[in-house]
Structure 1
Amino acid sequence: MAFLFACNKCLLFLVVLLLHASAAIAAAALDNSTDLASLLAFKAASTSGGGAASDNIIAANWTTDVPFGTWVGVRCSLQYPPRVVLDSFSLQGTISPHLSNLSFLSSLDLRNNSLSGTIPDTLGRLPRLATLRLSLNPLSGPIPPSIFNNMSSLVSIILSFNNLSGSLPTLVFLSHIEIISVGHNLLTGLIPADLARCSTLQEIYLGENKLTGSVPSSLGNLSELVNLSLGNNQLTGAVPTSIGNLTKLWYLYLAFNHLKGEIPKEMENLVNLQELHLDVNGIVGSIPISLCNASKMTVLDVSTNNLTGPVPATLGKSMPFLQWLRMAGNALSGGLDFIASLANCRDLNYLK
């Protein structure tokens, strides 16, 4: 009797296992069919049309005759998270909102194509997306707030070199974001102060837009920042003293704005700074000798401002790696003692 009970128990266990396996297979089939439909919708919205060179690669390759995991530009396997990488494919048309159904997508790279229209708001529904690259397209319209607010896994968002307009969305909290690049667009409005809440940020590129207002002092809280590019906008006010807190910074581009005030003494803390672009602003005062603490400097451009006073005599000795030095277009005075120190800069190839 005990033997029969044990057998029945084993049989019941096997049935349960089979039911679970069947459910898993059915779910996988459903996921696959959803992913397939999403990719086919993207194919229908965008065409690969670069003539004989591209030979309609997507149209010819994305067929249901083979598994979509083998399609050109689609990468998915047990070892790697799903990715769609179609950069430089001469794609035209629009970005299908149905891509939001690819719920396991980790990377979407559609840069350097001819995709037009707007960025679908539905992309904000991709909870696992870590990389979004849509740069070098003629995309227009606003940046959907859902991208900055809902995508908690996002590490890099690169939307530069498009025709995007409107203001930068407010960031609620992107706990993993490292790169935000939206330069070379038509964006207006203020730089969101809550960028500073994204403590993992390493690179910010907002240049070549029409942004107004001041440089938020809160950016000085981004201790991991190495690149900060805000040039070619319509920014006003002074360079915030909090910039001096960014001790890992090696690239600072604030040129071609309407900045006033003096170069902050606190910039003496930027010992890793390699490029400083403050040209074409309304900055006053002198070139602080404390700036010479940036001994790794290769490019220093403070031209076309309202600077006065002498050039630090030890400039060249303190910055031996200088390659580019521009100070023209100011009201600098004093002697030329600094010229002798520039003999220490063996790689200097531009001086004005």
Structure 2
Amino acid sequence: MEKASSFLLSFVLQLLCFLVACIATNISTDQSALLAFKGRVTLNSSHPLSLNWSSQVSICDWIGVTCGSRHQRVTVLNVSNMDIYGSIPPQLGNLSFLVSLDVSRNYLHGDLPQGLSRLRRLKVMNLGYNNFSEEIPMWFGFCSELQMLILDNNGFSGVPPASISNLSKLETLSIKNNQLRGSIPKDIGNLQSLKELFLVINHLTGSIPITIFNISSLEILALTLNELSGSLPVDICRRLQRIKSISIISNHLIGHIPAGLSNCTELYDLSMSYNNFDGTIPPEIVNLERLERLNLGGNNLQGSLPSAPDYCLTNLQFLNLGANNIGGVIPSSISNSSNLKELYLHENNLSGQIPTRWGI
């Protein structure tokens, strides 16, 4: 009996030693990865990372580092807006428990190393407002747990790679103000969890893939300041029943404004100015009770301004219908919008009097 107890105690002690050694090794791996990052960037002697990221301080107490309570492994790295110059080393991919990586608003440059594709637990990656360049790497498609990918204000070129369509859990894809060119890949429509798509201020051409309008979860579609052409589907709201904001300003879209937009009951922002839309403003658009911004200026719209019942457009704050070919009188119902702060009706063929309820 004593031998059995002694054996069991010895086994438990050996197991504990093994676990402690594993934890120490893993923490050492995380520490080495972060020190490799520190070694690839330029920091002055008074920089917080210079003073704090050292072997004299526990890694879980380093600035910008958060460890998980269960495994004591690095789960969050947030060094955003810290005036960091340099590049990202492949060793950062050894942070195997990392869930969130934010290096935004720094001066990082160069390519993104493929080693980052080993971050299989990663849910948030924010690389925005740096100087990264070249094409967006294909290996993003291996980070299958990603829910948010932000690459804003860099120098990425090419188009979003088709491999991104493998990110079935992705909810936010934001690649604003880069150098993207070519057509938006139709495979982007495979992102059936996507809620927010931001591709503004690029050089994208061609039509908007019809597959985007099949993403039923989509709430924000922002494609402003590109060179996109083609028209919008007439059944846009049947496809995008949760859509809240459509921003496609300054492109080359043509055709009529779909009357079916009146069925987008969640829509608060409809901004499609400076395109080549023609025809009339659908009168049903006044039924969008939650609408706060209606921006259709700088098109080839004709006809008259739609009149709204007293209970409609009460939330409207911004209305731009300027630089079109709209005629007729200004309907008095526009003044029912008590929250209206900005109104643009210039360069049209309007006649009659300004509604007296505006007190002008």
TM-score normalised to structure 2 length: 0.89
CA–CA distance in 1 between the matches of 2:66 and 2:229? 45
CA–CA distance in 1 between the matches of 2:240 and 2:38? 44
1:40 maps onto 2:31 in alignment:
no
Amino acid across the alignment from 1:218: T
Partner of 2:221: 228
Amino acid across the alignment from 1:101: N
Deviations along 1:25-73, one digit per CA (max 9) or x if unpaired, are 2221221111111100000111335x9xxx3111121111111111111
Give 1:25's match in structure 2, choosing from 20, 25, 29: 20
CA–CA distance in 2 between the matches of 1:48 and 1:220? 46
Closer, same or farther: CA 185–282 of 1 in aligned 2, 3 Å: same
**3-state secondary structure, aligned to 2:156:** strand
Partner of 1:136: 129
The 5 A counterparts of 1:136-175 are 136-147=129-140, 149-170=141-162, 171-175=164-168
Deviation at 1:317, TM superposition (A): 5.0
Amino acid across the alignment from 1:63: S
Deviation at 1:152, TM superposition (A): 1.2
**3-state secondary structure, aligned to 1:285:** strand
The 5 A counterparts of 1:240-255 are 240-244=233-237, 245-255=239-249
Give 2:294's match in structure 1, choosing from 297, 300, 303: 300
Partner of 2:355: none
**3-state secondary structure, aligned to 1:307:** strand
**3-state secondary structure, aligned to 1:66:** coil
Q: Is the 8 A contact 1:216 1:240 kept in 2?
A: no
CA–CA distance in 2 between the matches of 1:316 and 1:281? 30
Deviation at 1:314, TM superposition (A): 1.6
Partner of 1:213: 206
Deviations along 1:154-199, one digit per CA (max 9) or x if unpaired, are 1111110111112111124223211111111111122222222222
Deviates more, 1:212-221 or 1:228-237: 212-221
1:267 maps onto 2:261 in alignment:
yes
Amino acid across the alignment from 2:150: I
Amino acid across the alignment from 2:284: S
CA–CA distance in 1 between the matches of 2:208 and 2:25? 49
Deviation at 1:321, TM superposition (A): 1.4
Partner of 1:67: 58
**3-state secondary structure, aligned to 2:305:** coil
- Greater fraction strand: 2
Closer, same or farther: CA 269–172 of 1 in aligned 2, 3 Å: same
1:286 maps onto 2:298 in alignment:
no
CA–CA distance in 1 between the matches of 2:67 and 2:127? 20
Deviation at 1:267, TM superposition (A): 1.3
CA–CA distance in 2 between the matches of 1:180 and 1:242? 24
Partner of 2:343: 351
Amino acid across the alignment from 1:320: T
CA–CA distance in 1 between the matches of 2:185 and 2:117? 19
Closer, same or farther: CA 77–212 of 1 in aligned 2, 3 Å: same
CA–CA distance in 1 between the matches of 2:80 and 2:234? 40
Deviations along 1:110-152, one digit per CA (max 9) or x if unpaired, are 11111111222221210011111111112211211111x1111
CA–CA distance in 2 between the matches of 1:175 and 1:23? 37
Give 1:312's match in structure 2, choosing from 306, 310, 316: 306
CA–CA distance in 1 between the matches of 2:27 and 2:235? 50
Q: Once the two structures are aligned, what percentage of the paired residues are identical?
A: 33
Deviations along 1:175-224, one digit per CA (max 9) or x if unpaired, are 32111111111111222222222221111101101111111222222222
Amino acid across the alignment from 1:231: T
> Runs of 5+ in structure 1 lacking a partner?
1-5
Deviates more, 1:216-225 or 1:31-40: 216-225
**3-state secondary structure, aligned to 2:35:** helix
Q: Is the 8 A contact 2:100 2:125 kept in 1?
A: yes
Deviation at 1:337, TM superposition (A): 4.5
CA–CA distance in 2 between the matches of 1:237 and 1:317? 35
CA–CA distance in 2 between the matches of 1:103 and 1:23? 20
CA–CA distance in 2 between the matches of 1:136 and 1:221? 30
CA–CA distance in 1 between the matches of 2:49 and 2:267? 45
Partner of 1:83: 76
Deviations along 1:222-257, one digit per CA (max 9) or x if unpaired, are 222221101101111001235312222211101111
Partner of 1:3: none
Q: Is the 8 A contact 1:285 1:309 kept in 2?
A: yes
